[in-house]
Structure 1
Amino acid sequence: MKPPSWWWRPEPARQARLLAPLGALYAAATARRLAQGGGSPPGLPVICVGNLEAGGAGKTPVVIALAERLTVRGVKVHLVSRGYGGRLPGPVQVGPVHSAGDVGDEPLLLSAFAPTWIARDRAQGVRAAASAGAKAIVLDDGLQNPAPPKDLSLLVVDAARGWGNGLPLPAGPLRELPRDGVSRADLLVTLGPPEAQEAFERRWAPLVARLPRLRAMVRPLPTGMPWEGLRALAFAGIGVPDKFFATLRGLGVDLAGTRALADHQPIPPRLFARLEAEAQALGARLVTTEKDAVRLPPECRGRVLVLPVRLASEDWSPLDAALDRLFAAYAPPASPQRSGSS
């Protein structure tokens, strides 16, 4: 179901004010859960990539970028996800034998970049990854989950939308109050073009002033595909499908139609057949996201164009500095040097 538009107005609408008491209860429940503590540290660096709002904020490209940067550093990183939308409780390492119905779409996508585990109990997932030889863990989501303890928490937000009216569900789009989530974050990642970054600054600067900030964008990955002038029917079941459609328009794609699916919505053969028939009637090619592509029936994937995207930033130093501090804290102490006689 599409979230109500009034969630994203800076000033709470009448509906939000009426639902504010329920939002306060929701925020209190989140705070009580977090106060329970996260158990014992697993003994290796744990990095959490989370957000405050329900639905997509752009975490997956951030997780991929982290996996790539840690791999370049020579760190054997594993990824741990809840596996939303999958039937398996885990902990299970995602592999070629799994489908999106087994482990969820995001873990399937992430498994192409680093060993990936799904576990409804994330602490169990971290222990399983550590037993398999991981030297660092990246949690896909989990900012509102106390377990396992985190060494570094990245708070991701869509700069254009910000945190909407700033209220918890159902009065607004958030899982907790902004001040609470920000207080547990170590690095803020704001996603969007310069004008969106500036709008976020104007609205939320006092709240996030203490946090180091990585300004980044999600950009199409150059693949050699000639998108300019392509007539397409685009479909997407992600947090904000309109962002995907806008990206295609920015590439010069002639969108004959768009179909916004529910986030993580399964795409069985019958639904795919309807989409394909509609595209043929419009004289268009089907185009979708990487996350949607892994939910397609295997026999249908070759009939759909996929637009991959990656995180881009003009200045990675805030993230690199945070990683430097993290791994310095885990570095073994230097052995004292013995003084020898000549």
Structure 2
Amino acid sequence: MKSNHNFGNGIKPVTLKAPKFWFRKKDEVNIPALLLYPLSKFWEYNVRRRAQLGTWEKMPVPVICIGNIVIGGSGKTPVTQAIQCLLKEMGLQPHVVSRGYGGKSKGPIYVSATSTYSEVGDEPILLSKKGPVLVAKDKKRGIYKACENGANVILLDDGFQNTSVAKDLSLVVVDSKILFGNQRVIPSGPLREPIHSGFSRASAIILVNHDKNNISKPINFEFPSNIPIIKATIKPKINLTAWTGKRIIAFSGIAHPEKFHVTLKNLGCEIVGTYNFSDHYPYKKYDIAKLKVNAQSLNAKLVTTEKDFIRIPLSQQADISKLPVQIKFENHAVLKKLLNKILL
């Protein structure tokens, strides 16, 4: 059973998603993209103008930016978590500065044990499990506050297109399957900026694979030879045997739910239903109640992502499993060398 439209008695999950034509092949006939091309050129002009007028101010401590060129779903959050841990292992005190997408707070404010996703967003809460996270719509103010509170290195979450702060290291996260979609700029495609302009500021590319069974599949894109590529794989952080053969209903509100489904299949789960909500969807009590009824009728377990679990009302979290994941870097030494270059 698969559902993007309704589940049960007339309740419909919100399913605002990136349009399919964004992810067609570059040389494929793409009428919607062609019609939107003039607007993309306007977007591109604004991006270029913003970069020209940016202050690019040098910060008091090293700034490591973890971002992407496409909109959403590249694997940026687990990459940030892994680098948080790596920096702490190196004896440093990293603080993450995030804009807190989906949260109401403008900050700068630290994420605490009592913070809610409606205040600070879901990703900062997830990142705060690994160390200090400060939400700030104004990145510069956030960084200065972090420095005042003992940070000696900043992880700038999703600030690659920010022009107010100079970065000492910029890591661009790229999904190995989605890559850059149709390679067109918003709204003709998923690019926040042209690929060449993004690569011109990149220190390295983190190439993330979500499917261990397709890890050897050749990448259909030629990356610049002068930019280091650090390969990484997203893996479940659970007891694999405990999930094998389990009947599962998977639900999520993420940019690319198919990645979540692939991970579950690779665990040996039997997926009997999927429900896809819009990215960062704030679950309501009746959404979860209806999902639980459906799961019971199919004798299945409800499973969602760690990020989604944060957006489920506390009173409804019982009997729902979350699937924690982690990043494993293939060429760990290359990443450590880049970090040492700016930190030592």
Taking structure 1 as the reference length, the TM-score comes to: 0.91
Q: Does 1:209 align with 2:233?
A: no
The structure 1 residue matched to 2:62, chosen from 20, 45, 51, is 45
The structure 2 residue matched to 1:166, chosen from 164, 169, 183, is 183
In the alignment, the residues of structure 2 paired with residue 137 and residue 28 of structure 1 have an alpha-carbon distance, to the nearest angstrom, of 30
* Alpha-carbon distance, 1:270 to partner: 1.7
Contact 1:160/1:196 (CA < 8 Å) preserved in 2? no
The structure 1 residue matched to 2:309, chosen from 293, 297, 309, is 293
- Paired residue type of 1:71: K
Q: Max radius of gyration: which structure?
A: 1
* Alpha-carbon distance, 1:268 to partner: 1.9
Q: Does 1:321 align with 2:322?
A: no
User: Could you list the runs of 5+ residues in structure 1 that have no partner in the other structure?
Assistant: 329-342
- Paired residue type of 1:2: K
1:8 maps to what in 2?
23
- Paired residue type of 1:93: Y
| 3-state DSSP of counterpart to 1:47 | strand
Contact 1:46/1:150 (CA < 8 Å) preserved in 2? yes
Per-residue CA distance 1:186-240 (angstroms, 9 max, x = gap): 010111158567543x4233xx221011011111113466000111111111121
Q: Does 1:129 align with 2:146?
A: yes
In the alignment, the residues of structure 2 paired with residue 161 and residue 286 of structure 1 have an alpha-carbon distance, to the nearest angstrom, of 27
1:243 maps to what in 2?
259
Q: Which runs of 4+ in 1 moved over 3 A?
A: 193-199
In the alignment, the residues of structure 2 paired with residue 184 and residue 197 of structure 1 have an alpha-carbon distance, to the nearest angstrom, of 28
- Paired residue type of 2:66: V
| 3-state DSSP of counterpart to 1:204 | coil
| C-alpha distance 323-222 of structure 1, shift in aligned 2 (>3 A) | same
User: Could you list the runs of 5+ residues in structure 2 that have no partner in the other structure?
Assistant: 1-15
Contact 1:33/1:145 (CA < 8 Å) preserved in 2? no
* Alpha-carbon distance, 1:249 to partner: 0.8
| 3-state DSSP of counterpart to 2:207 | strand
1:256 maps to what in 2?
272
- Paired residue type of 1:238: I
Give the count of matched residue pairs.
325
- Paired residue type of 1:304: I
Which moved further from structure 2: 227-236 or 28-37?
28-37
Taking structure 2 as the reference length, the TM-score comes to: 0.91
2:11 maps to what in 1?
none
State the identity as a percent. 38
In the alignment, the residues of structure 2 paired with residue 268 and residue 30 of structure 1 have an alpha-carbon distance, to the nearest angstrom, of 36
In the alignment, the residues of structure 2 paired with residue 27 and residue 199 of structure 1 have an alpha-carbon distance, to the nearest angstrom, of 30
Which moved further from structure 2: 11-20 or 183-192?
11-20
| 3-state DSSP of counterpart to 2:222 | helix
Higher RCO, Cα 8 Å, sep 6+ = 2
- Paired residue type of 1:179: H
Contact 2:230/2:330 (CA < 8 Å) preserved in 1? no
1:283 maps to what in 2?
299
* Alpha-carbon distance, 1:31 to partner: 1.6
In the alignment, the residues of structure 2 paired with residue 65 and residue 45 of structure 1 have an alpha-carbon distance, to the nearest angstrom, of 18
In the alignment, the residues of structure 1 paired with residue 107 and residue 251 of structure 2 have an alpha-carbon distance, to the nearest angstrom, of 30
Task: Output the aligned Cα RMSD.
Answer: 1.5
- Paired residue type of 1:149: A
Contact 2:240/2:267 (CA < 8 Å) preserved in 1? no
In the alignment, the residues of structure 1 paired with residue 199 and residue 114 of structure 2 have an alpha-carbon distance, to the nearest angstrom, of 39
1:336 maps to what in 2?
none
* Alpha-carbon distance, 1:78 to partner: 0.4
